[in-house]
Amino acid sequence: MLRYGRTGELARKLPEWVGLFAQVQAVPEGAEHLRVVIRYLLWTGDKAVHEATGQVLHSVLDEQRAEELMRSYGEELIEQGRQQGLVRGREEGLARGRAESILRILALRGIHVEEAARQRILDCTDMDTLDGWFDRVLQATTLSEVLDGGAHASRRKDS
């Protein structure tokens, strides 16, 4: 199964393994082993693999149990996606806030920011870059010193 895990051939092979799935299901703790295999198939597979997995499950398990397995894993994936979305949203929010702070400090310091540079700052999502810009904006006298670490900023560091 691992051999075909990330290939288009997996969906074609699954129906051939119905007997193996039935044997696994029949042994003690087989249901748990089957659950692990199903999770793997649903995690790595494409739509065709998902459909083939559902067909195999329906061949091995009764309708209700097959649906429960598919649904419970689907719910896990949804929750995992929700959590990843929350983390990504927080990260994007932090980056956006840092970018807006940089722009605000530039404005307060009277440093002109053209639209292209403004967009570059707002579009940046790399916190290391934003942190560097934020640190430099506090002492910079030009936009170049902030964004490019201009020569004036370098000399100031060496002093």
- Please report, for the chain, the start and end positions of each structural domain, with discontinuous segments joined by +: 2-61, 90-158
At 145, list the tokens. 């010193």
Identify the CA nearest to 61 among candidates 13, 36, 24.
24
At 23, list the tokens. 């044997």
Which pLDDT value is given to residue 152?
A: 46
Which pLDDT value is given to residue 1?
A: 65
Spatial neighbors of 52 by CB under 8 A, at least 6 apart, are 10, 11, 12, 14, 15, 45
Q: What are phi and psi of 47, to 5 degrees?
A: -60, -40
Can you give the pLDDT of all 159 residues of the chain as single tens digits?
666 666 678 888 888 888 888 888 888 888 788 878 877 887 777 888 878 888 888 777 777 776 777 777 667 777 778 888 888 888 999 999 999 999 999 999 999 999 999 999 999 999 999 999 999 999 999 999 999 985 444 444 433
- Listing DSSP states for 20-78 in one string gives HHHHHHHSTTHHHHHHHHHHHHHHH--HHHHHHHHHHHHHHS-HHHHHHHHHHHHHHHH
